[in-house]
Structure 1
Amino acid sequence: MDAVSTQLLVVILVGLIICSAFFSSSETGMLSLNRYRLRHLVKKEHKGATLASNLLARPERLIGVILIGNNLVNILIAMVGTAIAERYLSEWAVIVVAPIALTLILLVFAEVTPKSIAAIFPERIAFPASYVLQPLLLLLYPFVLVVNAISNGLARLAGIDLAKAKLSDHLRPEELRTVVDEAGELIPDHHQGMLLNVLDLEKATVEDIMIPRNEVIGIDLDDDIEDIMELIRSTEYTRLPVFEGDINNVVGVLHLRNAARFIQGDNSTVTHDSIREHCSEPYFIPESTPLPTQLMNFQQQKRRTAIVVDEYGEVQGIATLVDLLEEIVGDFSTDTAEDSEPDITECEDDWFLIDGSTSIRDINRQLGWTLSTDGPKTLNGIIVEYLESIPDALVSFEVGNYRFEIVELTETRIEKAKVLEISLQA
């Protein structure tokens, strides 16, 4: 390099530092790209995104070409920097000062600064860099293959097969939940809640949303016509199960819009057979059916109401499409029966008065609690399971971080109880 002027060597050194900064920033930028936004831009036929996506399809080749280029440039920087130093420094200074100075220059101008910028603005760096890296990969392809072959061989010695290993871009439900939680202003709170409810749907079964059999309102064909007609006229529900004597003997489901077909005058014109004739076939489902599966089943079967049975075929309750959809979008029922008295009422000192039939999932959702949903599905169930019997008097006890006080009970169930999250008092 003795024939090359110092000025030209400085220009070459600056150019090589810029090239090193390019490789460093392109590596960080390419690997920092949001893969989901990248796929969106590819669908929009963004040229830079398409090139970047093609390069990231084989990350080992992308990293190979970047590192080959970066190392070649850094070697040239060392050579040119040493040549410049030899013209101004003594021999010992060249050995001591030049490496330190070049290391600082490379760290600041070719590593830390460009990589920091690329990490903050990956698209601005990666997309333009793709136009350079794509042809450079073709040019250095033989060298990249050799480097990758050696690298894969060393990895196999360590028990890792890089050729078969692939980066997974798929999000687990827990990770997707975090993404939705962190979306902030990008997603309105109501929509955010709906998305989270959809993710929670996998954890719930029909048993979690069904109306228990003791709360089911239906038509018993063993009753007098007068009683049946009074029920039809006063009910607030659109569909009623029809059974004979016992709810386990369900013969159909009556849609009240069909009632006009057999009510043609006073009650004397109505018969049990006419009611039975205008019922639709009952639709039975197992109580253990996951809610996403049941949602699809409702759609495929064109049904809105199902009779829930256990493993022995005993009717456990009723599940409706409305109840299932409310798990996603929240309450939109306008039934006055449901609005007459809230299931959960806030009391003093962070206590809550809760109806015994309230589901644990509803309690957790409304109060942000973490009561276990693996066992009993209602507050009454949790209390009875813990006490192993229905108490004879009002009692108080603690389960985990929650304190329970029974307020009202009958011989068969806990009607109301007050519950306190103890951790709030700490």
Structure 2
Amino acid sequence: MEATLWFTLIAILVLIAISGFFSGSETALTAASRARMRQKEKGGEERAKVVNQLLQMRERLIGSLLLGNNLVNILASALATSLFLVLFGEAGVVYATLVMTLVVLVFAEVLPKTWAISNPDSFALRVAPFVRVITLVFGPFVIAVEWVVVRLLRLLGVDTKNTPILSGQDELRGAVDLLHMEGSVVKDDRDRFDGLLDLEELDVEDIMVHRTNMLSIDIDEGAEAIVEQVLKSPYTRIPLWQDEQDNFVGVLHAKDLLRALARVKGDVSKLDIMGEAIEPWFVPDTTNLKAQLNAFLKRKSHFALVVDEYGEVMGLVTLEDIIEEIVGDISDEHDIDMKGVKTEPDGSVIVDGSVPTRDLNRAFDWNLPEEEATTIAGLVIHEARQIPEPGQGFTFYNFRFRVLRKERNRITSLRVTPVR
């Protein structure tokens, strides 16, 4: 009789240990980094290959582990109940329930899962070969259970095939945001990741230099005046227009102009400006940035004029503008310092109306909406449902906006204050 009791006790302890193995394995394999496992597999680590194979059949993996876990837990509880009945009589049922609840909670759930989550990659590599065997053994039973569950849910009107899942881009964005919150990824790196992921969501209209801010030259001004303007300009490529400012006839590259000057030995009167200009390239304002980036690379061009649905020129976009959406502002010794943003001691920010809302969000880590309008002035007009006058203030999206200056119907300066 005593030997039987000891055998039952040892069996219960073994089953609890097996239950802990199932719990820890489930936590480790679901929390393991698929990216790191993929790199380890490429490095020739066989156990990482097993982990990736298990993660590719995640439903069957989790089902097998749950089946095994429930099986050993129920068996351990049954043995504990029989043991306590022998020791304490009918009161043993209550004692067995209390003791097994505590033991299973601590040693079969919390302890192994905490251990596994502390280093999921290493834990997953160690248990993967054993879990693969378990998955192969329990696989047919799991398939049968899934078949029954799917049909029961179908009877209740639940369609398991059209379950919405996050796209790969959303998963990457969420992972980067989480790592930034934890301190593993700095703000600049997070912004670069977000900029790369946003290329398909943004159109050239969102980043273009607007028509009112473009530097362009009248081809009829004469070669000497054009050369002078090009030399004073900080830009390499300048659009040329003729007769009217919307009639763009070419794009002049400063390097081509210098070569032409060298050929005529500095005699500006002999220059043929139109002969040195290249044909302008027009792109629709609805082109997304990823498509435009690919078009720039394929065409081996860095400059395009943006037109709307009526064919009117709205602005220009360059390859540098798209790259800056990923890496942030790129400045060189010839760039003009655009003093569009000034931080005040009270925490408010003086902003030019033409500053893009997206640039403010990236610079100050704000969350102003970017869908309604491209610039901060456009956002204020959209929300106010009017063209405000200087001195008027509005509060929305947890920010206070006060208009400082206006020219005609354009807001040229405003103060933005986060609401504390």
- TM-score between both structures, scaled by the size of structure 1: 0.82
Residue in 2 aligned with 1:183? 179
Q: Report SS of the residue matched to 1:338.
A: coil
Residue in 2 aligned with 1:138? 136
**Do 1:282 and 1:307's aligned partners in 2 also have CA atoms closer than 8 Å?**
yes
Residues of 2 paired with 1:194 and 1:128: CA distance?
35
Residues of 1 paired with 2:45 and 2:199: CA distance?
36
Cα distance, 1:136–1:260 mapped onto 2, change above 3 Å: closer
Residues of 2 paired with 1:169 and 1:280: CA distance?
45
Cα distance, 1:57–1:243 mapped onto 2, change above 3 Å: same
**Do 1:350 and 1:420's aligned partners in 2 also have CA atoms closer than 8 Å?**
no
Cα distance, 1:10–1:395 mapped onto 2, change above 3 Å: closer
Tell me which amino acid in the other structure corresponds to 1:132. Answer: F
Residues of 2 paired with 1:95 and 1:345: CA distance?
73
Residues of 2 paired with 1:387 and 1:103: CA distance?
62
| 5+ long unaligned stretches in structure 1 | none
Residue in 2 aligned with 1:24? 23
Residues of 2 paired with 1:266 and 1:125: CA distance?
74
Aligned alpha-carbon RMSD (Å): 3.4
**Do 1:35 and 1:169's aligned partners in 2 also have CA atoms closer than 8 Å?**
no
Residue in 2 aligned with 1:46? 45
Residues of 1 paired with 2:70 and 2:409: CA distance?
79
**Do 1:221 and 1:242's aligned partners in 2 also have CA atoms closer than 8 Å?**
yes
Cα distance, 1:279–1:396 mapped onto 2, change above 3 Å: same
Residues of 1 paired with 2:385 and 2:83: CA distance?
86
How much identity, in percent, do the aligned residues show? 33
Residues of 1 paired with 2:42 and 2:85: CA distance?
54
Paired residues for 1:6-155 under 5 Å: 6-85=5-84, 87-89=86-88, 91-155=89-153
Q: Report SS of the residue matched to 2:354.
A: coil
Count of aligned residue pairs for this structure pair: 413
Residue in 1 aligned with 2:375? 378
Residues of 2 paired with 1:418 and 1:245: CA distance?
36
Residue in 2 aligned with 1:361? 358
Residue in 2 aligned with 1:349? 346
Tell me which amino acid in the other structure corresponds to 2:55. Answer: L
**Do 1:226 and 1:267's aligned partners in 2 also have CA atoms closer than 8 Å?**
no
Cα distance, 1:291–1:148 mapped onto 2, change above 3 Å: closer
Cα distance, 1:267–1:402 mapped onto 2, change above 3 Å: farther
Residues of 2 paired with 1:51 and 1:120: CA distance?
21
Residues of 2 paired with 1:249 and 1:343: CA distance?
29
Shift of the alpha carbon at 1:285?
Answer: 1.0
Tell me which amino acid in the other structure corresponds to 1:397. Answer: G
Residues of 2 paired with 1:389 and 1:82: CA distance?
78
Q: Report SS of the residue matched to 1:101.
A: helix
Paired residues for 1:303-322 under 5 Å: 303-322=301-320
Residues of 2 paired with 1:222 and 1:228: CA distance?
9
**Do 2:234 and 2:336's aligned partners in 1 also have CA atoms closer than 8 Å?**
no
- Give the one of 244, 257, 260 matched to 1:262: 260
Residues of 1 paired with 2:380 and 2:90: CA distance?
84
Residues of 2 paired with 1:88 and 1:180: CA distance?
56
Question: Per-residue CA shift, 1:76-122, capped at 9, x if unaligned?
Answer: 43454355445544x32444434443443333333333233334343
- Give the one of 224, 229, 234 matched to 2:232: 234
Shift of the alpha carbon at 1:136?
Answer: 3.3
**Do 1:19 and 1:73's aligned partners in 2 also have CA atoms closer than 8 Å?**
yes
- Of stretches 64-73 and 375-384 in structure 1, the one that deviates more from structure 2 is 375-384
Cα distance, 1:154–1:270 mapped onto 2, change above 3 Å: same
Shift of the alpha carbon at 1:383?
Answer: 6.2
Shift of the alpha carbon at 1:412?
Answer: 6.5
Cα distance, 1:66–1:166 mapped onto 2, change above 3 Å: farther
Tell me which amino acid in the other structure corresponds to 2:191. Answer: G
Shift of the alpha carbon at 1:303?
Answer: 0.8
Tell me which amino acid in the other structure corresponds to 2:61. Answer: L
| 5+ long unaligned stretches in structure 2 | none
- Of stretches 148-157 and 214-223 in structure 1, the one that deviates more from structure 2 is 148-157
**Do 2:241 and 2:247's aligned partners in 1 also have CA atoms closer than 8 Å?**
yes
